[in-house]
Amino acid sequence: MIAIVIVSHSRCLAEGVREVADQMASGQVTIVPVGGVQDQEGTHLGTDPMAVLQAIQDAWTPDGVLILADLGSAILSAETALEFLPPEQRRRCRISNAPLVEGAIVAALEASLGGSLDAVNAAAEGTGSLVKVARPHPDPRGSTP
Amino acid sequence: MGQQNGQAGNGQAISVEQIRRWLLAYAHRIIEQEEYLTALDADIGDADHGTNMRRGLEKVKERLEDPDCPCNSVGSLLRSVAMTLISAVGGAAGPLYGTFFLRAATSCNNSPAITPAQFAAMLRQGLEGVKQRGKAHLDDKTMVDSIQPAVEALEAAIGQHKDLRQALHEAAEAARRGMEHTAEIPARKGRASYLGPRSIGHQDPGATSAYYLFETAAQVLATPAHRRESPSRHR
Ligand SMILES: Nc1ncnc2c1ncn2[C@@H]1O[C@H](COP(=O)(O)OP(=O)(O)OP(=O)(O)O)[C@@H](O)[C@H]1O
Ligand SMILES: [Mg+2]
């Protein structure tokens, strides 16, 4: 069964996403949240490539690790982390294009059903086109008073 | 590669000690400009570039002032700067500057001193690393906009056998113009890209911090370090 790493600028957000995704997988899937940066003054919003590397190693399974990230440096940090992995592990990791929350929920579900790394990622990325609110009739703005 | 050794053209070689002093000067400049960099980022980003860079460069400064800092080769010095930035910065600038120095390091393994041409080649490798990591091109309004013109100016000046002082001066001027140009264009990469055309009129924070790299290089590297031990090491 594949594992999932959640990378966010906010540690709280990463943990929250893990929580909602975990519910779909009845605790069967390893989901590791990582986020925030630490210095003497405390924890700040941001991402730390070395912490992401550690999270991937904590989540590691030969079936593969799917990485879901929020944006900006979360992606750059995940890419940088992969460069520090041995090539045979790197080949079993994917950084997903999926939206973080919907992607994590669907990925956890598909992973718990035994989907392969690529199948799980495809399902997660599919949530990018999810319609949340149907808008059948566009506003008729042609004749505003 | 048909390239003559260090004594050919452009005069002096650049020692690992000079590189150390350059990066120390860069760290001081960033720490001193923290508020300005953060103010630039407040206009078009999330107001943390100065804080991020200060956090990273303070660690770099500690590392460079540590007597155990790996100073036997330019490659190992740059690699330790890269690793420090990767783990301490926290924003997009961390992986980007980290990749810059990591790629630069691999182009000058084990050399205790490098020629001006090797210095230019090293910065070229760093630039290509940043562009690859950030998927950014010239005029995307990022740090690439000051690094790329600087590297090109340095390569051109060294190719024309100008002396190192002049070459570094031209590189710093090109970086400054590139940095100022970012105020005229919309952002296409990074957080500022969410603002689209509204980012016009604001100078890019990353292009500004990258300018300091060339500004301090022109100040520090043009003068040879006479002794390996600089007084600042014992401060
Ligand atoms: N994809 C990119 N390619 C090149 N440079 C980039 C890219 N994204 C951002 N930058 C540079 O990084 C600078 C911002 O650095 P900063 O440390 O503030 O990171 P950030 O954008 O806040 O990171 P985060 O993604 O965590 O929010 C920008 O001004 C720009 O020069
Ligand atoms: Mg920022």
**B98 and A CB contact within 8 Å:** yes
Within a domain: B179: yes
A107, A7 Cβ separation under 8 angstroms: no
Sign of the dihedral defined by the CA atoms of residues A16, A58, A78, A102, in that order: negative
Q: Is A45 in the pocket of ligand 1 (CB under 6 A)?
A: no
Instruction: Write the secondary structure of chain B as one string of H (helix), E (strand) and C (coil).
Output: CCCCCCCCCCCCCEEHHHHHHHHHHHHHHHHHCHHHHHHHHHHHCCCCHHHHHHHHHHHHHHHHHCCCCCCCCHHHHHHHHHHHHHHHCCCCHHHHHHHHHHHHHHCCCCCCEECHHHHHHHHHHHHHHHHHHHCCCCCCCCCHHHHHHHHHHHHHHHHCCCCHHHHHHHHHHHHHHHHHHHHHCCCCCCHHHHHHHHHCCCCCHHHHHHHHHHHHHHHHCCCCCCCCCCHHHHC
For an interface test with A, which of B53, B60, B84, B87 has the most A Cβ atoms less than 10 Å from its Cβ? B87
**B99 and A CB contact within 8 Å:** yes
Does the interface ipTM go beyond 0.85? yes
Sole residue written with tokens 């150390």: B20
> B92 CA distance to ligand 2 centroid (A)?
7
Ligand nearest to the CA of A71: 1
Sign of the dihedral defined by the CA atoms of residues B82, B87, B89, B91, in that order: positive
**B193: CATH:** 1.25.40.340
Residue of B nearest to A73 (CA): B92
Q: Is B206 in the pocket of ligand 1 (CB under 6 A)?
A: yes
The pLDDT confidence band at residue A7, using thresholds 50, 70 and 90, is very high
Within a domain: A90: yes
Residue of the CA atom closest to atom 4 of ligand 1: B134
Query: Would you call A48 and B87 a contact, using CB atoms and an 8 Å cutoff?
Result: yes
The pLDDT confidence band at residue A139, using thresholds 50, 70 and 90, is low
Q: Is B48 in the pocket of ligand 1 (CB under 6 A)?
A: yes
The per-residue pLDDT of chain A, averaged, comes to: 94
A103, A71 Cβ separation under 8 angstroms: no
Which of B47, B152, B202, B131 has the alpha carbon at shortest distance from A45? B47
Does residue A145 register a pLDDT over 80? no
Pick B94's closest partner by Cβ from A39, A44, A73.
Answer: A73
Within a domain: B214: yes
Read off the tokens for B185.
Answer: 């264009």
pLDDT of B100-155, one tens digit each? 999 999 998 788 899 999 999 999 999 999 999 999 999 999 999 999 999 999 99
Give the whole-angstrom CA distance, residue B48 versus residue B30: 13
- Say how far residue A49 (Cα) sits from the centre of its chain: 15
Helix B16-32 crosses helix B49-65 at what angle (to 10 degrees)? 140
Q: Name the active-site residue from A2, A4, A8, A9.
A: A9
Mean pLDDT of A20-32: 95
Per DSSP, the three-state class of A65 is strand
* Chain A: residues touching B (Cβ < 8 Å): 37, 39, 44-50, 72-73, 76-77, 79-80
* pLDDT, position B6: 39
**A29: CATH:** 3.40.50.510
Within a domain: B208: yes
Q: Residue A37 belongs to what domain range?
A: 3-128
* pLDDT, position B123: 98
Within a domain: B7: no
Within a domain: B8: no
* pLDDT, position B158: 97
Residues of chain B below pLDDT 70 = 1-11, 225-235
The pLDDT confidence band at residue A57, using thresholds 50, 70 and 90, is very high
Residue of B nearest to A47 (CA): B90
Which of A97, A85, A122, A86 has the alpha carbon at shortest distance from A2? A122
Within a domain: A145: no
Mean pLDDT of A32-45: 93
Within a domain: A141: no
Within a domain: A112: yes
B13, B115 Cβ separation under 8 angstroms: yes
> B35 CA distance to ligand 2 centroid (A)?
13
Number of domains forming the structure of chain A: 1
Within a domain: A23: yes
The pLDDT confidence band at residue A134, using thresholds 50, 70 and 90, is confident
* pLDDT, position B10: 59
Pick A46's closest partner by Cβ from B52, B86, B96.
Answer: B52
Give the whole-angstrom CA distance, residue B118 versus residue B130: 19
Sole residue written with tokens 């490659």: B75
Number of domains forming the structure of chain B: 1
Q: Residue B26 belongs to what domain range?
A: 14-223
